[in-house]
Amino acid sequence: MKKIRFNDPGKGRPLNGSKKGLISFNMVMMIPRFIFLTIVILAIVLLVRSFVISKIDVKDIESDLFVQRALLSTSGINYYDSDIQRSYPGVVDTSKFNADTFAESMAYSSSQVLAANITLYKDDYARGKAVKSFYYNEKWYINWYPRTIKQLPGPGSVILKTYIQPIVIKDKDENYPGFVEFKVILPNS
């Protein structure tokens, strides 16, 4: 029986062992490490991609804010009692329901932000008794409205959002039930 001599007692490598065998053994033992490293890198990349937001769409929120601002602000279309300095949400004053008053209350930095057609209905929305109607940003509403029919996606297209809200109509000293309809058009740029 042949005795194996060791080069260094701490390393445990035989003197007469081949270096090719040792290198190939180490390479075979590295394969599980590379597989594990690949799995870890793929997991990190997938986690990062899942949490990165590449497209932010705020069109719904923007149109909701426009409608709520019109209905709830003191300078909007709702009734405001100057004696007690209180606005009544859900009560639309017909004397303030016009394009000039509404444009003053909606001070946007650009006219190309959005456009709207606002219609006031008496009694029942389904019967279609329109009391008053006006356009906010009329020029852009007329330009954008034909584009809402096709509903094409992407830049240059527009999105039409319709909101119908039950309200109380205040006409001088009379109050009667009604609805207000907002047709809001937003550019998809």
Q: What is the biggest distance separating any 2 CA atoms in the chain, rounded to whole angstroms?
A: 119
- pLDDT tens for residues 104-161? 777 776 667 788 999 988 876 666 678 888 888 888 888 888 888 877 777 778 888 8
Residues 45 and 107 in one domain: no
- pLDDT tens for residues 88-120? 888 888 888 888 877 877 777 666 778 899 998
Average pLDDT, the chain: 80
Is residue 9 assigned to a domain? no
- The pTM of the full predicted model, rounded to 2 decimals, is 0.67
SS3 string of 110-147?
CCCCCEEEEEEEECCCCCCCEEEEEEECHHHHHHHHHH
Residues 25 and 65 in one domain: no
Query: Which of 50, 69, 94 finishes a domain?
Result: 50
Q: Number of structural domains, the chain?
A: 2
Owning domain of residue 24: 19-50
What distances in angstroms separate CA 138 from CA 100, 106, 119, 151, 184, one per listed residue? 11, 14, 13, 20, 11
Q: Among the listed ranges 4-8, 67-71, 115-119, 126-130, which one has the minimum average pLDDT value?
A: 4-8
More confident residue, 12 or 59: 59
